[in-house]
Amino acid sequence: MGRRIVGLKKDQIIFSQGDPADTILYIQSGKAKLTVVSSAGKEATIALLGAGDFLGEECIANSQPLRMATATAISEGKALRIDRKEMIRALHQEHDLADIFVSYLLARNLRVQEDLVDQLFNSSEKRLARILLLLAQFGKEGTPETVIPRITQETLAEMVGTTRSRVSFFMNRFRKLGFIEYNGELQIHRSLLNIVLHD
């Protein structure tokens, strides 16, 4: 029927920039990151996604036949892989799915706008704090995940738009202030919100 569950292994490339955009994935468990590489070879992480998020949704518009980014699993998990034609059929016939998908697209669009404003107006320290809070799902419905999956400082630096050494400096500062803890795993405390809210 054009739908199947696929297992995701840590560091597995789900799809690559330039691949045909012919499927969409719904992450059921685990986390993934989206990265893009410029023509000059510079790489940037543009999103971290988890359970309840879609991957490759741009294929529905059919204006872009090729993937614009690379999706990589950053933890083990599972995803529902749906062929493009099947997803279009389901969106027309299954109204609950269409409601979920449109709500997701609107929320994702808002997140992209917030990321742009964050990049333009906030310091790299605030941007890092915001990304850590988003990874821990503060502000989403339900209980935040205070322990987040292992993520490198290089990836955080790509997302913040700064250097790894600056990320390391801020992470050490956050730890000294008691906003985070890390001993093999990263734990985020609600008090980190003070960095984002402080002018």
Domain boundaries, the chain: 3-119, 123-197
Separation of alpha carbons 29 and 51, rounded Å:
5
Separation of alpha carbons 84 and 25, rounded Å:
10
Q: What is the DSSP string of 33-76?
A: EEEEE-TTS-EEEEEEE-TT-EESGGGGT-S--B-SSEEEESS-
Six-digit token pair at 116? Answer: 């742009």
Q: What percent of the chain has pLDDT over 90?
A: 47
Query: Beta-carbon neighbour count of residue 169 at 10 Å?
Result: 15
Residue in 177, 175, 182 with CA at minimum distance from that of residue 198: 177
Q: Indicate if the pLDDT at residue 129 is higher than 60.
A: yes
Separation of alpha carbons 137 and 90, rounded Å:
29
CB 3 within 8 A of CB 80: yes
Q: What is the DSSP string of 135-151?
A: HTTTTSSS---SEE---
pLDDT for residue 133: 87
Q: What is the average pLDDT score of the chain?
A: 88
Q: Give the pLDDT confidence of 61-99 residue by residue, as tens digits.
A: 767 789 999 999 988 999 999 999 999 999 999 999 999
Q: What is the mean pLDDT of residues 176-197?
A: 84
- CATH topology assigned to domain 123-197: Arc Repressor Mutant, subunit A (1.10.10)
Beta bridge partners of 3: 82
Separation of alpha carbons 188 and 146, rounded Å:
5
Q: What is the mean pLDDT of residues 167-190?
A: 88
Residues in Cβ contact with 58 at an 8 Å cutoff, skipping those fewer than 6 apart: 21, 64, 67, 68
Q: What is the mean pLDDT of residues 176-186?
A: 85
128 versus 151: the higher-pLDDT residue is: 128
Query: Beta-carbon neighbour count of residue 40 at 10 Å?
Result: 5
> pTM to 2 decimals?
0.74
pLDDT for residue 25: 96
Cα–Cα distances in angstroms (integers) from residue 125 to residues 54, 139, 157, in the given order: 29, 19, 11
9 versus 133: the higher-pLDDT residue is: 9
pLDDT for residue 78: 97
Q: Give the pLDDT confidence of 13-59 residue by residue, as tens digits.
A: 999 999 999 999 999 999 999 999 988 888 888 888 989 999 999 88
pLDDT for residue 139: 60
Which among 77-81, 113-117, 123-127, 155-159 has the top mean pLDDT? 77-81
Separation of alpha carbons 44 and 26, rounded Å:
23
pLDDT for residue 150: 76
- CATH topology assigned to domain 3-119: Jelly Rolls (2.60.120)
CB 98 within 8 A of CB 19: no
pLDDT for residue 62: 66
Separation of alpha carbons 189 and 93, rounded Å:
43
